[in-house]
Amino acid sequence: MSNSRERRIVRYEFGERLVHSFTALSYVYLLLTGLAFWTPAMYWIAIVLGGGYLSRLLHPWAGLFFVGLLGWMYVMWRADMRITPEDRTWRKAIGHYIRNEDAQVPPVWRFNDGQKVLFWAMTAASLGLLLSGLVLWYVTLVPWNLRWVRYGAVLIHAISALVTIAGFIIHVYMGVFVVPGGLHAIIHGDVSEEWAKAHHLLWYRNLRKQP
């Protein structure tokens, strides 16, 4: 342990961790208040969070905050999130990855294909949430003869939210329960050399090549 401590690798810079944590916090607020509006069975969440009226008031502003941070994340990570030929090889071996047969999983760069698909799915769904959310927010500005826009918005908002929930469940489960060190890395930023070699070998080799 102590010798590995001297050879820490920075996996996430401070800025990356900061953006990630604010995005996560605002997402959780949006998820909870959104679920409260989604079904009466979960309306109690809005009551716990200060009442339905307050939740309705803050939800759109939290949404703007979230989308703004996601934009920052996009600028920060889009290069690392580009799908590479190695990702396609990884995708074919995803069964091994799911069954934790990691010896048979091909090496990847800074992010694996699962992380990349999550990133792009979240970005696309959040764009849908933003556009439909603006319509729901300013529904009075949508003229009556364009009411199909309102109808489209309620469906797009719900479907996009469900896409992000699917991603969120997998993301949190993987990061917290499946990959040892994953949660530590996104909070504190550092990983060991062994971890980098085991999970992101191509990224590690590339780091080592650099002076």
Partner 1 sequence: MANTLELLRVSASSPPAPGVRKTAVVTKLVDTSTCIGCKACEVACQEWNDLPPETTVQSGTYQTLPDLAPGFWNLIKFNEHEDEHGRLHWLMRKDQCMHCAEPGCLTACPAPGAIVQYTNGIVDFQQDQCIGCGYCMTGCPFNVPKLNPQTKRVYKCTLCVDRTSVGLQPACVKACPTGCLQFGTKDTMLEMANRRVERLKADGFAQAAVYDPPGVGGTGVVTVLAYGDRPELYGLPRNPTIPLAVKLWKGPLKWLGNAAMFAGLLAAAVHFVRFGRKADVTWK
* Chain positions contacting partner 1, by CB under 8 A: 1, 4-5, 36-41, 43, 46, 52-53, 55-57, 98-100, 102, 136, 139-140, 144, 147, 150-155, 158-159, 162, 165-166, 169-170, 173, 177-181, 184-185, 191-192, 194-195, 197-199
Q: Taken in order 34, 125, 178, 12, is the CA torsion positive or negative?
A: negative
Q: What is the nearest approach in angstroms of partner 1 to the Cβ of residue 153? A: 8
Q: What is the nearest approach in angstroms of partner 1 to the Cβ of residue 106? A: 16
Q: What is the nearest approach in angstroms of partner 1 to the Cβ of residue 121? A: 14
CA distance 21 to 187: 8
| For partner 1, the closer CB: 61 or 177 | 177
C-alpha dist (Å) from residue 7 to 1, 64, 125? 10, 40, 38
C-alpha dist (Å) from residue 118 to 36, 59, 166? 24, 23, 9
| Neighbour tally for 87: CB within 10 Å | 21
| For partner 1, the closer CB: 44 or 124 | 44
| For partner 1, the closer CB: 75 or 162 | 162
Q: What is the nearest approach in angstroms of partner 1 to the Cβ of residue 165? A: 6
Residue with the two structure tokens 């199909």? 148
Q: What is the nearest approach in angstroms of partner 1 to the Cβ of residue 96? A: 11
| For partner 1, the closer CB: 83 or 169 | 169
CA distance 154 to 160: 10
Closest-CA residue to 185 (of 105, 115, 83): 115
| For partner 1, the closer CB: 110 or 199 | 199
